């Protein structure tokens, strides 16, 4: 349906996106679209070796190339910028600081060793080829196991003893008693591979230093302008009030663009040193090699269960391969998220969680869409294994352990309040939509054709935005969300949000909410984001599926405050009781008395131009900053079912059908929710079957193009069937985030389906990802394991 104007009841409708005209006509402004007069171009020369001392670096020949303006080595950069330091007061955290450009040691293939600034990117790349770097190679450490081994090469010496960035163990309940009472002990392992965010727009930024005003402006591809600003201002030694960060169109982030990176520091420092504009846009090759990747984690699980499948206790160990350099947030946030969320929507009386965060000679471990996702993956696979051990179905084992609405409010063993959580209800709905006899018939029919049809399912909860006690358990601040709202002189509305949307459609959803609350047209609301000179501060920007609850709450409460002020004024003008007034299509009227009305624009003009003439005692300030604390927050939830067909000759896995039952509470725009769910599931499928940020044993990066790093394309993804529950709680803001869930849960349903298929042919169970055709053939015994 059209946006138009004058419609109330926009919330809940499939309103056209405000963002679409720009992106469909090619008139957006992404970082690489920025062109300034005299703009220079930066290119990074990157390390070709995984671990080495830099003996010497000779830039003399490169400097002779016509059009080269300046070359920064590590020493040059250290003279003008501080080392990046992400250390936080977290007990036991060993967080090394590091220079924007490597000074003495390189620790992964792709680490910047020099930055060339030239009149064009072509010239900068030409010059890079003429820089001579002499390395004294050191042995690389390419796995958590190798890094923690006795006598392993130390990446950071005493700064990260034993290459262990952080280690911890936490106990909840009486774990010994749980295992003493167990009828079965069920164990499982998962060795997950590295895969990456790979937004279609890579990282990049354009830094401009204005010598006259002393202002430094950085237009960047970022998910969080305010955090980028305060981190960079410190490291490039620039006063923060003279530092502005801008984000316009952002071509996807998926968690990657939540941090500040060393390239950001180098580009800003260079612009300041040169006194002009410097653009840096990473190419895909650099992005794949150097931007970092996610999900490389090894977990072992040991569950104590009763004969009937009831969970009694769970022991988990997790090793996280952090790569060489820490970024924001510290990796303890990820282990904290995994630890806290892993019990999921199930009753679990006792729990022990241990982790090691380990430094290796790889690019940084980064946040990727639901960075805690491995908790759901290992838990849902464990539930299937428990079912097999106890001789019950995957549906039954979940039913016997799931926390239903009737059990709530309650607390997870990890001290997190569960309230209005409908995982069990989404699961029952999912089960009711599946004909299990038909699944068995199809499996027989497939086997007759020489194929294996596997079926798998799973359920989970998503902290979107989570509760306050959830974030306390994780060890990360929850943070309120502000929004500034202004009714303009003509009655139109401008909303300033610290969200930095990069596909999440906040220009649309926040406009829907404000239009409904204030009784103005959808096209009469504009959402401003991404400019630290204009938007209120938030540390978080867009991430963690917070916006549906937090940004919504901020604009709803802000709108209500302004509406109160406007109606108060109108009640004097119309000589009516405030409770009898309404705003419809920008006109305030007395309900049931069609003649008595005053346009919002008239009140707005009075408030801005002649406040002294407005009714005495009224508040004529039509700009308001609201702050929303989340009303206790909450979870969204979903259950997924997946059907795969495996070709026993080729090992190919085809996802035949994928069913999602999700509940994110009140949907603001169902078409946008669908897009988030489908995109999330597709990313989960790609991550499990195709994508791999692979290193060789000697530390070379192997997936440096899209011919090696396989992204899912349209034929690999089926149409996703979606059912929405929309459980309505008593919270004013009943919407929950839905951005990450698809990617979190889909891998679990998918791997359960693959295991189901393999089991039909007597094959082994998946314990290492990705599930490539080769891996499938190995598990089927067709070929020998590598």
Q: Which of residues 180-239 bind other proteins (CB under 8 A)?
A: 198-201
Say whether residue 772 binds other proteins (CB under 8 A): no
The piece of 108-116, 185-193, 240-248, 700-708 that touches other proteins (CB under 8 A) is 700-708
Nearer to other proteins, 284 or 399 (CB): 284
For residue 718, give the 3-state DSSP assignment. Answer: coil
Please, what is the minimum distance in Å from the beta carbon of residue 245 to other proteins?
Answer: 19
Q: Provide the mask over 613-652, with x wherever binding to other proteins is found by CB under 8 A and - wherever it is not.
A: ----------------------------------------
The token pair at 574 is 């119309």
Q: How far apart are CA 106 and CA 148, in angstroms?
A: 20
Compute CA distances 486 → 465, 523, 570, 600, 680, whole Å: 26, 15, 18, 13, 34
Q: Is the dihedral of CA 403, 407, 408, 414 positive or negative?
A: negative
Provide the β-strand partners of residue 571.
Answer: none
Residue 465: cis peptide before it, omega within 30 degrees of 0: yes
Nearer to other proteins, 576 or 667 (CB): 667
Q: Provide the mask over 718-757, with x wherever binding to other proteins is found by CB under 8 A and - wherever it is not.
A: -xx---------------------x---------------
Q: Give the residue from 529, 541, 502, 20 showing the smallest Cα distance to 231.
A: 541
Please, what is the minimum distance in Å from the beta carbon of residue 326 to other proteins?
Answer: 25
Nearest-5° angle of CA 373, CA 378, CA 383? 125
Return the half-sphere exposure (C-beta side, CA atoms, 13 A cut-off) of residue 680: 31
Q: What is the DSSP letter of 720?
A: E
Residue 305: cis peptide before it, omega within 30 degrees of 0: no
Please, what is the minimum distance in Å from the beta carbon of residue 375 to other proteins?
Answer: 23
Q: How far apart are CA 352 and CA 358, in angstroms?
A: 20
Say whether residue 33 binds other proteins (CB under 8 A): yes
Cα 758 off chain centre by: 32
Q: Of residues 674, 740, 755, 778, which one binds other proteins by CB under 8 A?
A: 674
Q: How far apart are CA 502 and CA 484, in angstroms?
A: 20
The piece of 82-90, 346-354, 405-413, 673-681 that touches other proteins (CB under 8 A) is 673-681
Nearer to other proteins, 217 or 504 (CB): 504
Q: Give the residue from 333, 339, 345 showing the smallest Cα distance to 315.
A: 339
Q: Of residues 103, 145, 184, 284, which one binds other proteins by CB under 8 A?
A: 284
Burial zone of 604 (CB within 10 Å; 0-12 exposed, 13-18 middle, 19+ buried): buried
Say whether residue 713 binds other proteins (CB under 8 A): yes
Asked whether the beta carbons of 205 and 219 are under 8 A apart, the reply is: yes
Q: Of residues 4, 27, 104, 308, which one binds other proteins by CB under 8 A?
A: 27
The piece of 146-154, 379-387, 498-506, 621-629 that touches other proteins (CB under 8 A) is 498-506
Please, what is the minimum distance in Å from the beta carbon of residue 274 to other proteins?
Answer: 20
Say whether residue 21 binds other proteins (CB under 8 A): yes
Please, what is the minimum distance in Å from the beta carbon of residue 323 to other proteins?
Answer: 21
Say whether residue 38 binds other proteins (CB under 8 A): no
Please, what is the minimum distance in Å from the beta carbon of residue 670 to other proteins?
Answer: 9
The piece of 30-38, 315-323, 371-379, 456-464 that touches other proteins (CB under 8 A) is 30-38
Say whether residue 30 binds other proteins (CB under 8 A): yes
Q: How far apart are CA 643 and CA 660, in angstroms?
A: 12
The residues, ordered by sequence, that sit 6+ positions from 623 with a Cβ below 8 Å of its Cβ are 484, 485, 486, 487
Please, what is the minimum distance in Å from the beta carbon of residue 650 to other proteins?
Answer: 18
| Phi, psi (deg, nearest 5) at residue 236 | -95, 10
Say whether residue 35 binds other proteins (CB under 8 A): yes
The piece of 265-273, 390-398, 564-572, 717-725 that touches other proteins (CB under 8 A) is 717-725
Alpha-helical (H) ranges within 519-622 are: 550-574, 600-609
Q: Where does this chain bind other proteins (CB under 8 A)?
A: 14, 16-17, 19-30, 32-33, 35, 122, 198-201, 249-252, 254, 283-285, 502-505, 671-672, 674-676, 678-683, 705-707, 711, 713-715, 717, 719-720, 742
């Amino acid at each position: 349906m059209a946006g138009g104007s004058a419609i109330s009841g926009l919330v809940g409708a499939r309103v056209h996106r405000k963002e679409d005209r720009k992106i469909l006509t090619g008139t957006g402004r992404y970082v690489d679209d920025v062109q300034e007069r005299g703009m220079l171009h930066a290119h990074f020369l990157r390390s070709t070796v995984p671990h080495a001392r830099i003996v010497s670096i000779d830039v003399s020949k490169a400097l002779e190339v016509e059009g080269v303006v300046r070359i920064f080595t590590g020493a040059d950069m250290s003279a003008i910028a501080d080392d990046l330091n992400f250390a936080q007061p977290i007990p036991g955290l060993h967080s090394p600081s590091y220079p924007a450009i490597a000074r003495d040691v390189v620790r992964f293939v792709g680490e910047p060793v020099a930055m060339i600034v030239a009149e064009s990117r072509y010239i900068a790349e030409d010059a890079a080829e003429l820089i001579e770097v002499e390395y004294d190679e050191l042995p690389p450490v390419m796995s958590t196991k190798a890094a923690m081994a006795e006598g392993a090469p130390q990446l950071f010496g005493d700064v990260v003893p034993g290459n262990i960035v952080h280690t911890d163990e936490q106990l909840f309940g009486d774990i010994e008693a749980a295992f003493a009472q167990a009828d079965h002990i069920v164990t499982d392992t998962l060795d997950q591979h590295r895969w990456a965010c790979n937004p279609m727009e890579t990282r990049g930024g354009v830094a401009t230093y204005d010598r006259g005003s002393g202002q430094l402006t950085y237009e960047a591809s970022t998910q969080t302008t305010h955090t980028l600003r305060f981190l960079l201002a410190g490291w490039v030694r620039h006063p923060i009030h003279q530092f502005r960060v801008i984000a316009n169109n952002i071509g996807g982030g998926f968690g990657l663009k939540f941090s500040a990176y060393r390239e950001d520091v180098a580009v800003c420092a260079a612009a300041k040193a040169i006194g002009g504009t410097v653009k840096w846009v990473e190419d895909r090759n650099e992005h794949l090699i150097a931007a970092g990747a996610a999900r490389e984690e090894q977990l072992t699980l040991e569950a104590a269960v009763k004969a009937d499948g009831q969970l009694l206790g769970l022991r988990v160990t997790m090793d996280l391969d952090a790569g060489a350099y820490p970024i924001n947030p510290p990796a303890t946030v990820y282990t904290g998220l995994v630890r806290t969320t892993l019990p999921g929507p199930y009753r679990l009386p006792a729990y022990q969680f241990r982790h090691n965060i380990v430094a290796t000679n790889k690019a940084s471990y980064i946040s990727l869409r639901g960075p805690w996702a491995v908790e759901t993956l290992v838990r849902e696979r464990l539930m299937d294994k428990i079912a097999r051990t106890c001789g019950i179905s995957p549906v039954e084992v979940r039913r016997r352990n799931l926390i239903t609405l009737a059990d709530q409010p309650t607390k997870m063993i990890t001290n997190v309040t569960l309230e209005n959580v409908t995982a069990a209800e989404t699961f029952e709905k999912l089960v009711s939509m599946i004909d299990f006899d038909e699944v068995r018939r199809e499996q027989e029919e497939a086997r007759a054709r020489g194929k294996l049809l596997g079926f798998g399912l799973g359920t989970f909860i998503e902290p979107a935005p989570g509760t306050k006690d959830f974030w306390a358990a994780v060890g990360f601040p929850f943070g309120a969300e502000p929004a500034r709202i202004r009714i303009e002189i003509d009655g139109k509305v401008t909303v300033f949000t610290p969200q930095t949307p990069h596909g999440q459609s906040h220009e649309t959803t926040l406009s829907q909410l404000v239009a409904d609350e204030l009784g103005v047209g959808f096209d009469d609301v504009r959402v401003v984001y991404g400019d630290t000179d204009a938007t209120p501060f938030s540390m978080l920007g867009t991430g963690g599926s917070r916006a549906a609850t937090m940004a919504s709450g901020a604009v709803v409460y802000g709108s209500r405050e302004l509406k109160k002020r406007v109606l108060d004024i109108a009640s004097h003008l119309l000589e009516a009781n405030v409770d009898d007034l309404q705003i419809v299509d920008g006109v305030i009227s007395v309900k049931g008395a069609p003649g008595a009305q005053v346009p919002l624009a008239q009140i707005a003009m009075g408030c801005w131009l002649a406040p002294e003439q407005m009714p005495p005692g009224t508040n004529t300030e039509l700009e308001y900053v609201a702050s929303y604390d989340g009303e206790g927050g909450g979870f969204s939830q979903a259950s997924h079912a997946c059907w795969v067909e495996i070709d026993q000759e080729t090992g190919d896995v085809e996802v035949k059908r994928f069913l999602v039952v999700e509940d994110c509470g009140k949907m603001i725009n169902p078409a946008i929710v669908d897009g988030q769910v489908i995109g999330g599931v597709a990313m989960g499928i790609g991550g499990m079957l195709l994508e791999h940020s692979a290193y060789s044993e000697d530390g070379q990066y192997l997936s440096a193009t899209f011919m090696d790093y396989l992204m899912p394309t349209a034929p690999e993804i089926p149409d996703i069937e979606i059912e929405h529950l929309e459980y309505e709680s008593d919270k004013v803001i009943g919407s929950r985030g839905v951005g990450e869930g698809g990617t979190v849960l889909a891998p679990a349903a998918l791997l359960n389906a693959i295991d189901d298929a393999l089991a039909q042919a007597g094959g082994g169970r998946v314990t290492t990802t990705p599930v490539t055709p080769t891996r499938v053939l190995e598990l089927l015994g067709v070929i020998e394991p590598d």
